[in-house]
């Protein structure tokens, strides 16, 4: 495994069986561990997730992602997904850390994915804030969609549009790891721009996510 940095990040994405984390399940996870010093990949993992807790798989969601129920039934169960997530998060957390150097979550419209992640952790009797960076009560995360809105002020800010904006090929959209890889490239673009000394700022891109604040990201989510 590559070396970890002073601060490290988890870029992640879910494919889901619908838009509501309390009604629809995660169908696929993709996550990449990234060294925050040099923006290089440390490790990555992806898997299909078996249906769980009698949540509903909506046909439209499966049609868009082109994930079949047969593929899902060959996946891992939700507990194994949560356990693996925890193991990977711990692998890039310095020993003895009390919370400030836990990895920060990164995603595109990340509040959507965090709502599903929190539901999965709660279902498995774990607290997500014990494994990733938080401000004591709430998870903190970096949203590349917010960064894009700040940098360009365009009407569009979905992942495909942002990739075109900076010349990234986004093939096989709506597959978790493919979305993770392009989100990594997009995030790296913004970080390098900020480190280069221009006027880009992260204010507003670092968000906190509460359990009951779901409507805003549902309204902005695009399959």
The per-residue pLDDT for range 178-205, each reduced to its tens digit, is 999 999 999 999 999 998 844 444 444 5
Answer yes or no: is pLDDT of 222 > 60. Answer: no
Mean pLDDT within 61-82: 97
**Residue 39 to residues 32, 80, 164, 174: CA-CA distances in angstroms?**
11, 28, 21, 23
pLDDT band for position 9 (50/70/90)?
Answer: very high
HEC secondary structure over the chain? CCCCCCCEEEEEEEEECCCCCCCCCEEEEEEEEEECCCCCEEEEEEEEECCCCCCCCCHHHHHHHCCCHHHHHCCECHHHHHHHHHHHHHHCCCCCCCCCCCCEEEECCHHHHHHHHHHHHHHCCCCHHHCCCECCCCEEEEEHHHHHHHHHCCCCCCHHHHHHHCCCCCCCCCCHHHHHHHHHHHHHHHHHHHHCCCCCCCCCCEEEECCCCCHHHHHHCCC
Residue 218 CA to residue 77 CA, distance in Å, equals: 25
Say if residue 206's pLDDT is above 90.
no
Burial class (CB within 10 angstroms; exposed 0-12, middle 13-18, buried 19+) of 137: exposed
Residue 210 has pLDDT above 70, yes or no: no
For residues 145-160, give the mean pLDDT: 91
Distance (Å, whole) CA 35 – CA 26: 26
Please give the mean pLDDT across all residues of the chain. 88
Q: Among 23-32, 81-90, 99-108, 171-180, which stretch is predicted with the lowest mean pLDDT?
A: 171-180
Average pLDDT, integer, range 52-61: 98
Q: What is the pLDDT of residue 172?
A: 67
Only one residue has tokens 């798989």, namely 57
**Among 35, 40, 15, 10, which residue's Cα sits nearest to residue 26?**
15
Between 156 and 199, residue with greater pLDDT: 156
Which domains occur in the chain, in start order?
8-220 (3.30.420.10)
Res 55: pLDDT: 98
Mean pLDDT of 138-155: 93
Position 31 scores a pLDDT of 98
Percent of the chain whose predicted confidence (pLDDT) is above 90? 73
Distances in Å between the Cα of 91 and the Cα atoms of 79, 81, 128, 170, 205 are 18, 15, 15, 29, 25
Range with the largest mean pLDDT of 79-83, 157-161, 167-171: 79-83
Q: Comparing C-alpha atoms, which of 78, 128, 137 is closest to residue 103?
A: 128
């Amino acid at each position: 495994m590559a070396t970890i940095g002073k601060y490290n990040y988890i870029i992640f994405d879910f494919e889901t069986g619908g838009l509501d984390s309390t009604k629809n399940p995660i169908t696929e996870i993709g996550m990449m561990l990234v060294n925050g010093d040099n923006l290089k990949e440390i490790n990555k993992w992806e898997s299909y997730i078996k249906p769980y807790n009698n949540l509903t798989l909506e046909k439209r969601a499966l049609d868009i992602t082109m994930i079949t129920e047969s593929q899902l039934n060959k996946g891992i169960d939700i507990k194994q997904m949560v356990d693996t997530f925890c193991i990977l998060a711990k692998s890039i957390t310095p020993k003895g850390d009390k919370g400030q150097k836990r990895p920060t979550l990164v995603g595109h419209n990340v509040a959507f994915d965090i709502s599903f992640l929190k539901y999965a952790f709660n279902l498995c009797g774990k607290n997500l804030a014990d494994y990733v960076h938080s401000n004591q009560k709430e998870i903190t995360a970096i949203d590349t969609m917010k960064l894009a809105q700040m940098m360009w002020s365009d009407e569009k800010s979905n992942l495909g549009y942002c990739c075109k904006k900076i010349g990234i090929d986004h093939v096989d959209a709506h597959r978790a790891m493919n979305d993770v890889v392009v989100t990594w490239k997009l995030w790296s673009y913004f970080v390098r721009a900020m480190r280069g000394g221009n006027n880009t700022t992260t204010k507003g891109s670092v968000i906190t996510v509460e359990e009951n604040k779901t409507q805003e990201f549902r309204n902005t989510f695009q399959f």
